[in-house]
Amino acid sequence: MFDEKDMILDARHVTRKFPASNGRTLVACNDVSLRLYKGKTLGLVGESGCGKSTFMRFLVSLDTPTEGEIFFHGNDITKMRGEALRQNRQKIQMVFQDPSGSFNPKMKIRDIICEPLMNFKRIKKSEKDAVAKKYLELVDLPAEFADRYPHNMSGGQRQRIAIARAIVLEPEIVVMDEATCALDVSVQKTIIELVVKLQKEKNISIGFIAHDLGLIQSFAHQIAVMYLGDIVEVIPAEGSDKNAVHPYTKALMGAIFDINMDFSKKIESIESEAPSPLDVPKGCPFQDRCGHCIGICRQEHPVLTELKPGHEVSCHVFGKRGGKA
């Protein structure tokens, strides 16, 4: 699917455990292995609380996994400390879900965009006007917005500013944490078009977190589906609606609304609610919501195995062991 020489980040067997009440442990990410490739987008989807944001926070060093390694150009970023960690932040940037929460409301847009460059002493104060103008135009905003404050702008405009701030350091990877979920559908479309344009121009790798699988399918190159801390399927985005095999992935695919869909077919829902992450059942975490559950599913945790290049699934029934893929 992807050329291995283009791989720039390799997360290997990453696990994150949090202590909980009564001596229990919450496993937010369980043995997660994912890769990012140069100039490609990895879409990470799943229900709220499945561990998507926890995993992506590892990439920008906002959290550290309990176990596992994350190699960026061959260096394990989970072991970085001090100045090495600080310098590495230039190469991996993040766009948060709510830009208002990540902006200083007392700073003008000019200062918000240029702050990362000033922090790393890459520009002088006298250069801020020119830099702000350049990056405002790059995200399709007029140069005069440099004198505005965040509260004087719409949600879509603030998200464009967040994108400008993220790319001003010319990073190799940009992590986007549900960066469009609070926007109108029409605005979502323009933001995604902007992200795709910038990715092509700058050859940026993107990790995009979302609940909306239909949105991810429209622009990602690869999709990873997460359920209760586990990666249940990794699949190329192109043809994913036809090639998905995991029951959870197929249920998510079936719930996508499209004006061209066959309305004579019933939309299959997933029965019951997901169990508490503090009370994940032994064996497959999806067993109680799966219509294909067999004996081994309640006894043994499935392992993510490759069906074909670029396509992996964690399922006893539809993986290699079940022979139904």
Q: In this predicted model, what pLDDT tens digit does every residue of 29-45 receive, in sequence order?
A: 999 999 999 999 999 99
Say how many C-beta atoms besides its own lie within 10 A of residue 308's C-beta: 11
Q: Tell me the average pLDDT across 249-257.
A: 84
**Is residue 183 helix, strand or coil?**
coil
> Residue holding tokens 């009440």?
21
**126 and 259 together in one domain:** no
Q: Which pLDDT score, from 0 to 100, does residue 48 have?
A: 87
Of 188 and 203, the structure prediction assigns the larger pLDDT to 203
175 within some domain: yes
135 within some domain: yes
Domain count, the chain: 2
**164 and 175 together in one domain:** no
Please, what is the end-to-end C-alpha distance for the chain in angstroms?
A: 18
**120 and 162 together in one domain:** yes
Structure tokens that stand for 303 in this block: 């392992």
Q: Tell me the average pLDDT across 190-217.
A: 93
**279 and 220 together in one domain:** yes
**132 and 276 together in one domain:** no
**226 and 147 together in one domain:** no
**192 and 284 together in one domain:** yes
Residues 260-277 as b or e (16 or more Cβ within 10 Å = b): eeeeeeeeeebeeebeeb
Q: Tell me the average pLDDT across 252-276.
A: 72
293: domain CATH number is 3.40.50.300
**115 and 186 together in one domain:** no
Name residues whose C-beta falls within 8 Å of residue 248's C-beta, 6 or more positions apart in sequence: 225, 227, 232, 233, 270, 286, 289, 290
Longest Cα–Cα distance in the chain: 69
66 within some domain: yes
Among residues 274, 283, 268, which one has the least CA distance to residue 51?
A: 274
Q: Which of the listed residues 168, 196, 212 is the one where a domain comes to its end?
A: 168
Q: Which domain holds residue 234?
A: 4-91+169-313
Beta bridge partners of 230: 227
For residue 302, what are the CA distances in angstroms to 78, 274, 299? 27, 18, 9
Amino acid identity, residue 84?
A
Amino acid identity, residue 269?
S
Q: Which pLDDT score, from 0 to 100, does residue 263 have?
A: 59
| H/E segment holding residue 192 | helix 185-202
Structure tokens that stand for 81 in this block: 């400390």
Q: How confident is the model at residue 101 (pLDDT cuts 50, 70, 90)?
A: confident
**179 and 161 together in one domain:** no
Name residues whose C-beta falls within 8 Å of residue 195's C-beta, 6 or more positions apart in sequence: 163, 176, 206, 208, 219
For residue 54, what are the CA distances in angstroms to 207, 239, 315? 13, 28, 23
Name residues whose C-beta falls within 8 Å of residue 5's C-beta, 6 or more positions apart in sequence: none
Q: Which of the listed residues 168, 186, 214 is the one where a domain comes to its end?
A: 168
59 within some domain: yes
Among residues 304, 71, 63, which one has the least CA distance to residue 173?
A: 71
60 within some domain: yes
Strand extents, DSSP E, the chain = 7-19, 25-37, 41-45, 67-72, 75-76, 92-95, 173-177, 205-210, 222-227, 230-236, 305-308, 311-313
323 within some domain: no
Q: Which pLDDT score, from 0 to 100, does residue 226 have?
A: 96
Structure tokens that stand for 89 in this block: 């932040």
319 within some domain: no
**177 and 149 together in one domain:** no
**226 and 298 together in one domain:** yes
Given a cut of 70, whether residue 100 has pLDDT beyond it is yes
**283 and 306 together in one domain:** yes
Q: Which of the listed residues 122, 139, 168 is the one where a domain comes to its end?
A: 168
